[in-house]
Amino acid sequence: MPPDLAAVGAFRYHDFTMTTQTVKTRFAPSPTGYLHLGNIRTALFNALLARRQSGRFVLRIEDTDRERSRPEYIAALLDDLRWLGLDWQEGAGVGGPHAPYAQSERTAVYAEYYQRLDAVGHVYPCFCTPAELALSRKAQQSAGQPPRYAGTCAHLNEVERRARWERGLQPTLRFRVPPGRTVEFTDLVRGPQRFASDHIGDFVIRRADGGAQFFFVNAVDDSLMGITHVLRGEDHLTNTPRQLLLLEALGLPAPEYGHMALIVGAAGGPLSKREGDFSVRELRAAGYLPEALLNYLARLGHRYEHDEWMEPAELAAGFAVAHLGRAPAHYDEAQLLHWQTEVVGRAAPERLWTWMGSMVHERVPPDRREEFIAAVRPNTRFPADAVFWANRLFGGDWAPSDDSRTAIAAAGPAFFAQALAVYAEYGAAYRPLVEDLKRRTGAKGKDLFMPLRAALTGETHGPELARVLALLPPDVARRRLEACC
Ligand code: GLU
């Protein structure tokens, strides 16, 4: 639907109403690296919006940067999105009515739309070299003007163009931005926006090597694929007026855009390696579970009615564009760890067992699996924690912590002689064992439990002592108590 151009020098794009039109959102990554927290938050919000509205979520691969795009990054991002459970109904890997979904395969589509712009005189070849453009930008900057294309090639006649062709110059294709216009749109997150077209400057939509340029392919594909809503990072906000002008010139409908605040570090700067600049691969390898990332990211720059743990379907049901914040979203590792603890606390035992990995599988006897999981779950946030406890309970080389040496020394050998005696009598029957030990030694509370725990596990904190006692092979328990006598 072409916009209403009658408005004095300004135009508005129609508002899609979520009730009358199937919502279609997309994630459009450039496969030039692995997906990071920021990308997957964008993917997540678009997926949640589609799901919330019973719409469709599309995955489009923006691989027009031939030098930096790599097939292995495409494979990795498909894998990451699937691991996260961010399923798409249409797009790369699954196909759909607007295939192909990789921009590198859509050259013929773009050729047609370049042709259309050419036919209405909305584009022109630009022969300016990168060095000339840099010079012109510099001149504008020193004159205190915002850098924008000076229009050098905007009005070349045929003879001038031919002369440049003959010199062997390969032109880019520039979009002719209409002068004196105000581009207005209502951003889904940031509200009404106005941009003067005179500040934009004619921009490149096809590179000198014939490659399609981002502004163009991104806008054309959104429109052709029927995308109704685009949630993306606010670094794209100033691209939007350009893209709206392009779509207007092509007579193509535009989606609604919402520009989300970027994720920043605790101090407000860009994410660093210490502060959340992690790829999904790294987080997965570290043992993060997908629902932890989802629960965390869905709340990073978006507010839910309540702060409790939510299943992915609940995250979608409670998602609202109106709850997206404009303030920068600060990465907070403590929050991410909080949700990780929540997932580990909730995961089915079988799933946790697989997640704990081969070092645990090798260490823990098969018939103790369930008990082991129950014992260490509250003390486990990552597989490494489970490995730690598997070693402490079922062998492996380890030395007691300093705290536990102190606790053992404080209790003294006589305490452990009694402990051995009660163990011989009651074995893993925890209640009678501690009652009798209390009676025999007079120790109670911390003085009773701490040395016992320290002797049995080499730590002063850890899984419930009753569970530890039940899990420890009797000869191991006996040896550890003897070692303290
Ligand atoms: N390929 C673009 C990016 O990764 C997509 C931007 C957008 O969502 O429109 O930044």
What DSSP assignment string belongs to 360-423?
HHHHS-GGGHHHHHHHHGGG-SSHHHHHHHHHHHH--S----HHHHHHHHHHHHHHHHHHHHHH
In the residue annotation, 273 being an active-site residue is answered as: yes
194-to-203, 235, 237, 323, 458 alpha-carbon distances in Å: 19, 16, 11, 22, 66
Token pair of 220 as six digits? 């054309």
- Whether 381 contacts 344, CB under 8 Å: yes
Q: Where in the chain is the domain with CATH 3.40.50.620?
A: 5-260
Architecture of domain 5-260: 3-Layer(aba) Sandwich (3.40)
Question: According to the model, what pLDDT value does residue 268 have?
Answer: 84
Nearest to 229 by CA among 269, 187, 184: 187
30 lines ligand 1 (CB under 6 A): yes
H or E element at residue 16:
none
- Whether 30 contacts 69, CB under 8 Å: yes
- Whether 394 contacts 366, CB under 8 Å: no
Three-state DSSP class for residue 148: coil
Q: Where in the chain is the domain with CATH 1.10.1160.10?
A: 273-346
C-alpha span between 213 and 120 (Å, rounded): 20
Is CATH 1.10.1160.10 correct for 273-346? yes
C-alpha span between 461 and 250 (Å, rounded): 67
- Taking the CA of residue 218 as reference, the ligand 1 atom at the shortest distance is 9
Residue ranges, the chain, pLDDT below 50: 1-19
Q: Is the peptide bond before 2 cis (omega within 30 degrees of 0)?
A: no
Token pair of 221 as six digits? 């594909």
Q: What does the longest C-alpha to C-alpha distance in the chain come to?
A: 108
Q: How far is C-alpha 346 from the geometric centre of its chain's CA atoms?
A: 22
Nearest to 381 by CA among 341, 348, 349, 350: 341
Three-state DSSP class for residue 284: helix
62 lines ligand 1 (CB under 6 A): yes
- Taking the CA of residue 239 as reference, the ligand 1 atom at the shortest distance is 9
Q: Which residues pair with 95 in a beta bridge?
A: 91
29 lines ligand 1 (CB under 6 A): yes
Q: What is the pTM of this model?
A: 0.90
- Whether 329 contacts 271, CB under 8 Å: no
Question: According to the model, what pLDDT value does residue 39 have?
Answer: 94
Q: Where in the chain is the domain with CATH 1.10.10.350?
A: 402-483
Give the distance (Å) from ligand 1 centre to CA of residue 74: 14
Instruction: Please give the annotated binding residues, written as ranges.
Output: 126, 128, 153, 155, 273
In the β-sheet with 10-11, what is the strand arrangement from edge to edge? 10-11, 182-187, 191-196
Determine the topology of domain 402-483 in CATH: Arc Repressor Mutant, subunit A (1.10.10)
- Whether 185 contacts 135, CB under 8 Å: no
260 lines ligand 1 (CB under 6 A): no
Question: According to the model, what pLDDT value does residue 20 have?
Answer: 55
- Whether 400 contacts 393, CB under 8 Å: no
- Taking the CA of residue 235 as reference, the ligand 1 atom at the shortest distance is 10
Give the distance (Å) from ligand 1 centre to CA of residue 42: 9
288-to-83, 308, 353, 355 alpha-carbon distances in Å: 11, 19, 14, 10
243 lines ligand 1 (CB under 6 A): no
The active-site residue out of 273, 438, 444, 446 is 273
C-alpha span between 57 and 48 (Å, rounded): 9
Give the distance (Å) from ligand 1 centre to CA of residue 259: 11
- Taking the CA of residue 42 as reference, the ligand 1 atom at the shortest distance is 8
Instruction: Please give the annotated binding residues for ATP, written as ranges.
Output: 273
48 lines ligand 1 (CB under 6 A): no
Give the distance (Å) from ligand 1 centre to CA of residue 60: 10
